[in-house]
Structure formats: structure tokens, C-alpha cells
Amino acid sequence: MRETIIGTSLPNLLWENKPEGLHEVVWRYSKNPIIGWNPTPSGARAFNSAVLAYKGAFVGIFRIDHKNSRPLLHYGSSEDAINWKLEPEDINWVDDNGKPAPTSYAYDPRLVKIEDTYYTTWCDDFPGPSIGLGMTRDFKTFTRLENAIMPFNRNGVLFPRKIKGLYVMLSRPSDSGHTPFGDIILSYSHDLTFWGKHRHVMASGGKNWWQATKIGAGPVPIETREGWLLLYHGVTTTCNGFVYSMGAALLDLDDPSKVLYRTRDYILTPEKQYETVGFVPNVVFPCATLLDAETGRIAIYYGAADTYTAIAFTQVDELIAHIKSNSEVF
């Protein structure tokens, strides 16, 4: 057991070794993308989605943009984490009295197990983009909780355990549109209803232009002996619009508002056709990981070009060594 990742082993984790001669610390699955156009009868594109190991197999909450162009969340299940059975109907959210509590739109879900409960965060209509929060214990009944953060905000991501007795959430204050700015902040809560003790975690900008316009937390942070491993997206602005890449940081275990290391360069950027051509070109947008603590293997699930679901791989010790020796914290 390597014990770098503080977590459980996942022997059935999908894995491919790094191709010979590749310098990069993150490499793509050779059969990408795993989900393409028109994945369900009413769905046009499934991307920016969250997956989790569950009862020997895998479950997911998928962002599906429908043919009316509105995004909603759909439940999915898989035996191998590659071939996904996506529910044609969106999740039937209820309130805590069991009454229907539908979302008007919902996108970019993250999924996390905290103690014995599974929580989903997403970008919700308040009205206006805000952080929606829901829970399930069985992936059959999905209950909406109070929205965590008021408008305008996106990229709400819960840590997988309480820190010093408090729930912790990362988010990215934004505007009501396509937001040309944004830093990652952190908020604490005793009860997942009232949030406060806000802290600034990481700024965009700086001289590393790939993350100059805005940044946002990606998958649920991974607890490691070296700190919380955070994969995040960084955005640059070009003549043809935004380009979304992926970076990584290590946050202090006890005080995750403290950035220990942060990659100077991106570790994944749109290069492949499924990343550079699609509904929104030039987007890689990580939303989930599957982890095997035994081997330190990490499978990263990311949305590509707001069209496809794709997978990339990395190994935790290699990635941490890379972050530490290529770090620039600002």
C-alpha cells in the first residue's frame, strides 16, 4: 500500500499505463471520448459530469444538455465506468416532504460521499447561477437541500469530509453570464444550510496566462498525506473566446484556504479533436475522479468541448512530485 491517497482501494478502477515516451503527467484514455452526441432520446450532449464507485460498480450524475439547449441532471450507472446507462428522464428531485422540487436548469454536477450520505452540488437557477445542493442515500430518492451559495456563483465543490467539525465547500463567485473573472473561495458550514467563514483560496490572473481570466474548482479534492489535491480549471481569453485547461494544487489539510503548491503550467489543455471541436470548442472541464489508494492511480472524468465525456489518467505520487517541482503560488 503506497498510502499517499488517504482513502480506499478500488481494484476495478479503469486504467491504462502512460504511453511510452510521453512527458506529460496526465495522459488521455485511448478510447476517448466515452460518451458522444445524442446520448439519450431528448439529450444532445452529456459532459462535465460526476461519477463515483458504488456497491462494486459505478454511479454518476450527468449533465445532459437537452435538444431545447437546457441542461439538466440525469442519473447514470455502469459496471465498468466506461459504458454508461444514462436515464432518459432527468432526476426527479423532491423536497424533504417528498414533494416535487424540480430544477429549472442544472449543470456541472459534482458528487461526493460524506459519512453515509451522497451529496451533489451543481450550478442551479436561483434565479441566476447559484450553488444547488442535493442528497441521496440510495440513488433512487434524490432530495434537494437549501441552495448553498446565493447568486452569482458556480463550481461549488464539497470536500469529502468535515474539517475541524465543519463541512467545507469551494466555489467561484461569478456574474450572471459568461463571467470574464473569478477566483476560488472557500466557505464553512455546521449543517450544510448556513455557510460562512469565507476565505479566499486562489486567484486567477498572474503571468501564467492559461489561468489568467478565471479559475474554478474541478473534482472533489483528494485527501493525500501531502495535502488536499485539487484539480481545477483555468481559463484564458483569446480572439476566438475562452480556452479551458486543467491545473493542480495542493492545499493544507487542516486549513484548505492555504495553497501549498500550484502548477505554473497547465497539466491538460484542449489538443484532441474532441476537445477542440464541438458545441463550445477548446474546453477541458474536469468534474470527477475515481481513485485507487492502493496503487495511487487516478482516473479523471472531464467534459470536452461541452459535447463529450472523456477520461484521463495520472498517478498520485508522480502528480504530486510534478506539482511541487513546477509550482508557482501567487
Asked if 135 and 118 touch (Cβ cutoff 8 Å), the reply is yes
Rounded distance between C-alpha atoms, residue 119 and residue 158, angstroms = 8
Residue 245: CB minimum distance to ligand BMA, A:
12
Cell of 311: 477520461
- For ligand BMA, the closer CB: 122 or 167: 122
Mention every residue, 6+ apart, whose C-beta is less than 8 A from residue 21: none
How many whole angstroms separate alpha carbon 258 and alpha carbon 200? 9
Q: Which residues contact 153 (CB under 8 A, 6 or more apart)?
A: 129, 130, 131, 171, 172, 173, 174
For 241, which DSSP code?
E
User: Which residues within the stretch 257-316 sit at the binding site for ligand BMA (CB under 6 A)?
Assistant: 280, 283, 285, 303, 306
Among 48, 103, 211, 245, binds ligand BMA (CB under 6 A): 48
Containing 230, the helix (H) or strand (E) segment is strand 227-238
Q: Which is nearer to ligand BMA, 223 or 306 (CB)?
A: 306
Q: Is 58 helix (H, G, I), strand (E, B) or coil?
A: strand
- x/- binding map, residues 64-103, to ligand BMA, per CB under 6 A? ----------------------------------------
**Per CB under 6 A, does 159 bind ligand BMA?**
no
Q: Report DSSP state, residue 18.
A: P
Of 27 and 242, CB closest to ligand BMA: 242
Q: What 3-state class would DSSP assign to 275?
A: helix
Q: How far is the CB of 145 from ligand BMA (least distance, A)?
A: 22
Question: CA 250, 243, 296, 63 torsion: positive or negative?
Answer: positive
Q: Tell me, by CB under 6 A, how many residues bind ligand BMA.
A: 10
Task: Pick from 107, 167, 210, 266 the residue near ligand BMA by CB under 6 A.
Answer: 107
- Whichever of 48 and 245 has its CB closer to ligand BMA, that residue is 48
**Shorter beta-carbon distance to ligand BMA: residue 257 or 282:** 282
Q: Which is nearer to ligand BMA, 44 or 253 (CB)?
A: 44
Binding site for ligand BMA (CB under 6 A): 48, 107-108, 178, 244, 280, 283, 285, 303, 306
